[in-house]
Structure 1
């Protein structure tokens, strides 16, 4: 934990020293890291003392898993983040959107009920899945602000095609998704909002690419075996928490 904390602090300092500061940057990274340490210690002690029979010692899990009816109160997850991305609300203040269709046949005019149709909307949305599904994206999935992708309760994979792009947006939560075998895609028109689509050059093939964005929380996902890295956070992206993810078969974690 000490090594991880030091690495996180170093990443934030590098961003600030490079002049890539933005209004969401954390002014005191050491204070945030200390708060993370304290939160984890407190959760561990509560487990040892047996205060809660459901306690795991993981403060994020303990925040929502102790509620047996969590599936009826999914949005409480937005209150569970710790670290630099702790203020990411995702789609907490919007409606639920249920993905019913795993297809991705049209990157310009996505079909209602698909994941692509959900993430490009201008309004806050908490996105859930009707059933287990494997989604093979034809082009990168460009997210709009104030979205949560919540895979809890279903086995959801984004695999064998393009993957997720978080570019110049804010307040994104991605939880409980299996993302693997991402490929380089591009040289195509892709929609990023209901009112805009444009030409996309070749994407690197990262599982999750974060570009100039803030208030991001990536938690409890499985990421593996992508064409480039797994998580790429660049161009002054800040206020990010990456927690409880299982990362395998990769060559890099990029924080340029």
Structure 2
């Protein structure tokens, strides 16, 4: 995935220019620290350094702040991935700043160790809470904090979920920043976008008198299909994708690659067959939706590297050189829904390297070999344990061979109401202390529905609980140990009805 370092970057200017007619926000600043430095940042207190492609503050005995950007920035949104590594005492916090005047005056959204998120202001070192709500705050877990300042309106979110809104006119402009209070933390993927008025979704794109080797996606004209009703559930609940952003229709390789590499919310409508190579990076806050029943991604796939809040729906993936969809490197809140996967060279879907909050629903795995891998390596327990939280429901594993899914370390992985048909090697494997709940599924002609206590191949045993499944012409489901309950509510389709319900509803053209 191409990476923007700052608005001054020539690459950034080119990318922004290609979508100038449809952009709702202009990028002001971005830093993912992959260059190994924190140039442009000024710090106060703490111990700051760039390590492993992220900005770290390791001190826990006082306040610590790092600021960047311009004092003249007024209306903008700042989004940062934040991970608290340690809290020194009770009621400590990690935070993202906006309209910073100095090290003691700014607006901020804080994740506190007492399981709250607060939208606050600091005036000459004196803090005032504007609004707060409860949220689970865990050491070692990545959260995406977003703070928007627009006139006197302040809006914040955690992981794209519940919104906190307040009104205050203390500060009209200022820098962005990150901070800790008696806490150590890691910060990554800092993005700042200016607030501009979005164009009408039905507006025509600006005319271009000359051709371009990388034509920009076009705005959907009035009457074009819009994203259908339907909301993500399971672990991906709360994912909004490109909501609030403009809509573009992409028909060529260059249009698609430009769109998925754009900063900010964007609804990308795919028309016809688009050929790509390898796995192409998708930036956060995107909805990628196939139009009709023929939208196809051929030859390559989508890659998520520290990405989040992305929806992929109604697409056929064919002949991917590697994985069709790779959710990796701590990506989160990804919804993969109503797609069809055909003949990937490796896996149809991989969910690996500490990724989490993913739902895979209503997809057709059509004679695939390696359908779904959760956790890529037996040696990656340090990164994966406590993550890889995935919901897998109402999919048709249709004459596919294996990995439906194969799980390492992830818990809970919730596999429910899927139709497993003629799976040659096995259906579900829980290994390396993974925790998998297999519930309300229909297994037909599957010789090995579940592995767990015996492990699988070179991997050690995992844990698996099965309940309310039907096995027709199939072997026994191997169970082992206990598994954490899914932390969300859900409604099961009666197991006997799963084959008919799933076959009628999965795949493309069924939204």
TM-score (norm 1): 0.56
2:279–2:323 contact (8 Å) kept in structure 1: no
SS in 2 for 1:137: strand
| Cα contact 2:227–2:289 (8 A) shared by 1 | no
Question: C-alpha distance in 2, partners of 1:91/1:149?
Answer: 8
Q: Distance in 2 between the 1:142 and 1:116 partners?
A: 8
Alignment pair present for 1:226 and 2:344: yes
| In 2: Cα distance, 1:232 partner to 1:139 partner | 14
Q: Which residue number in structure 2 is paired with residue 87 of structure 1?
A: 238
What are the residue-to-residue correspondences of 1:80-229 with 2, within 5 Å? 80-99=231-250, 101-102=251-252, 104=253, 111=254, 114-129=255-270, 131=271, 133-153=272-292, 155-159=294-298, 161-183=299-321, 205-211=322-328, 212-229=330-347
Query: Offset of 1:242 from its aligned partner?
Result: 0.5
Equivalent position SS for 2:345: coil
Q: Contact 2:225–2:291 (CA<8 Å) still a contact in 1?
A: no
**Equivalent of 1:254 in 370, 373, 394:** 373
Task: Count residues in correspondence.
Answer: 157
Greater per-residue strand proportion: 2
1:229 and 1:75 map into 2 onto residues whose CA distance is: 27
The alignment partner of 2:374 has SS state of coil
Task: Give RMSD over aligned pairs.
Answer: 2.2
Deviation at 1:154, TM superposition (A): 5.0
Tell me the equivalent position of 1:202: none
How many angstroms apart in 2 are the aligned matches of 1:98 and 1:136?
Answer: 15
SS of the residue corresponding to residue 323 of structure 2 reads coil
**Structure with the larger helix share:** 1
In structure 1, the gaps of 5 or more residues are 1-18, 25-70, 105-110, 184-204
Tell me the equivalent position of 1:6: none
Runs of 4+ in structure 1 off by over 4 angstroms are none
Unaligned 5+ runs, structure 2:
1-138, 145-222, 376-511
Tell me how far 1:72 sits from its aligned partner.
6.9
In structure 1, which of residues 22, 34, 40 is the aligned counterpart of residue 142 of structure 2?
Answer: 22
Contact 1:75–1:92 at 8 Å: present in 2 too? no
What is the SS of the residue equivalent to 2:300? Answer: coil
